[in-house]
Amino acid sequence: MRKLILGLVVLLGLALLVDFGAAAWSEYRVSRALREGGALTADPAVTIHGFPFLQQARNGHYENVEIRAQGVHSDMLGDITIEANLIGAHAQAADLLDGSIRSVPVDLLYGRVRIDATELGRLYNIPDLQISAPPASKSDGTGGSGGSGPTTAGGVVLTGTVPVGPVTAQV
């Protein structure tokens, strides 16, 4: 009985290794294809979420694929980071393996573009631009503690030196 249980545990461990290995290899292949197809300077990070991966590959339906490409050059914004979540991506494993796939239909796509403070400052000609979050405060301006005003959490504070009339000022 112990040999049977030990054999099942070893078999399960091997199945997990094969599944995670196949997922890692597929992520690598997709990353390389995106680099070549998008003329990127580096491989983007690709993560295929969901378990078991081999079942998703067999069905040609992937629950969630995360892609993050850093240092993508844009003429207007400089170097930016592009992030995407592909929810419900549809692609046959054979097409992914031979590299013949040119488009991937998805059920839902979340995309983001992240601009570094340095690049944003360059765009607006503010070389010392800094971006930070404001302190979380509920002060309603009455001087008391913990007022009833709205919180400032979630906002963004931009600080930099800009020309104001004939002089420059930190704002």
Print the SS3 string covering 107-145: EEEEEEEEECHHHHHHHCCCCCCEEECCCCCCCCCCCCC
Dist CA 141 CA 19 (whole Å): 58
Dist CA 129 CA 159 (whole Å): 6
Dist CA 49 CA 64 (whole Å): 5
Q: Does the predicted TM-score (pTM) go above 0.85?
A: no
Alpha-carbon distances of 162 from 59, 130, 159, rounded to whole Å: 56, 12, 9
Q: Which tokens sit at 62?
A: 């992937």
Find, among 101, 92, 95, the residue nearest to 36 by Cα: 101
Dist CA 22 CA 135 (whole Å): 45
Amino acid 92: pLDDT = 85
> What are the average pLDDT values for consecutive 10-residue runs of the chain, which has 171 residues?
90 93 89 86 91 91 93 85 93 76 88 88 85 70 55 74 83 81
Q: Which stretch of DSSP H or E encloses residue 158?
A: strand 157-159
Find, among 127, 136, 129, 138, the residue nearest to 159 by Cα: 129
Amino acid 74: pLDDT = 84
Dist CA 82 CA 114 (whole Å): 6
